[in-house]
Chain A
């Protein structure tokens, strides 16, 4: 194929509807704003893991669709989520990423969340328990009963992850993604998990591009080490499975670690109930990834910061019951693939950063191809096609031409 002039370049590819998308969905500020409203404010988002708040009064803060959120463990051991906003003057109540309310803030009291601005205080159930000079200022026109925090839907599930939704009427978490978790539910829930790794990266790319990378393995051509040591019959036999609500499982298989130079079998430390060295991957709409590679669990959570900017939080997990030695081994297993000097992560980030650089807001729209069909096997791009069909429904936009309303891929041909 010769190089193409502008008109040729802009023409649609000789593929069917649903097999490509328009790059505006990765760069258009208006589409980005709509995604926050129509997707991120409506779905379940995992905020963190319960092992990050082990004790009563421990808390963790986060944001969902620009809304500040705080999750805190109460004295009754129940984890609750609130909008991290004071009902008085709209100040962010807790500004630390994590910590404990057991100790008092300078203007507050122990065991309360205190807004430092005017000293209003809230307990772990979100009740307002103190308004400074309440009677003097409000007489009886407004009282603590009128000024509780905004409580949010919150559930702990699928191995102790803390899930929050900004939508009071959201479907149950089980209905949302129970099917997609089925393949790793037993290993994740056999015994308590514990976080051993956390880092975050702010990348100049669209959040969906990161999820795309987690949803296809064709990019193993970029992972040099995977390509030269990992491609074998079992690898190519892995099958992708799509679930309702846009979630997918990327094909599972038994990894032959002895074929990877410098790697050891993970059979002994494989998660309970997991066949030895088995690898499972769950990709959730709109951008969370759970990756259980035998002995270590990785979880990626995206927080979109703009059409061309995303924060990705990476967490690694072992079993709470690990001996120090087992934990060290799990951390080695985790880091050798996913750590900063591991085999995969930095290459994945280079990939999406390069896409981001080439799709900045204002760049001319172009076609991004998702048209590989290989019987749903590992290099099939079915995961992305499934995701973008779901995206189209939530956004009422056609992924291949976002100025058009949604229609099923077959109808868009």
Chain B
């Protein structure tokens, strides 16, 4: 079973974000008016906690730290700063419950440069 119940749909107010943990997997639920989106709770740019830094206005989610933006209706990137897609889990509503299809936690890859051997590093 990969459809997991996240929360009651009415527990996330219009244009707000709320963090939940489902079977040990952290997610954020966003209510953008036309529906809901469920995604990992950190910004794919620099791991900022989106439930604190995120702002929804006109169906657009903005991470206020460095102004990366995504359109929650289309799931596409918005604005001039954004460089990476947000990962969205599939979502559906059953009665009052909000469910998301989560096989496993999605982990973003953040660039980390490979390291030289210490002696090579300090002697170069």
Contacts and interface: CB of A to CB of B under 8 A. Distances in A.
Q: How big is chain A's contact interface, by range?
A: 10 to 19
A111 B112 CA distance: 12
A140 interface: no
Interface residues of B, number: 17
A228 interface: no
Task: Determine the main DSSP class of B at the interface with A.
Answer: loop
B66 interface: yes
Interface stretch (A122-130, A269-277, A326-334): A122-130
A186 interface: no
Given A104-B48, A121-B46, A151-B121, A109 B113 contact: no
B67 to A, nearest CB: 10
A393 interface: no
Interface of A: 104, 109-112, 121, 123, 125, 127, 129-130, 132, 151, 153, 168-169
Given A125-B113, A125-B115, A127-B113, A153 B122 contact: yes
10 contacts: A109-B43, A110-B47, A112-B46, A125-B113, A125-B115, A130-B46, A151-B121, A168-B122, A168-B123, A169-B122
Interface in B1-47: 42-43, 45-47
Given A151-B121, A153-B122, A129 B66 contact: no
A265 to B, nearest CB: 44
A169 B121 CA distance: 11
A153 B122 CA distance: 8
B109 interface: no
Residue of B43, B115, B118, B123 ringed by the most chain A CB atoms within 10 A: B115
A96 B49 CA distance: 23
A110 B66 contact: no
Given A130-B66, A151-B121, A109 B47 contact: yes
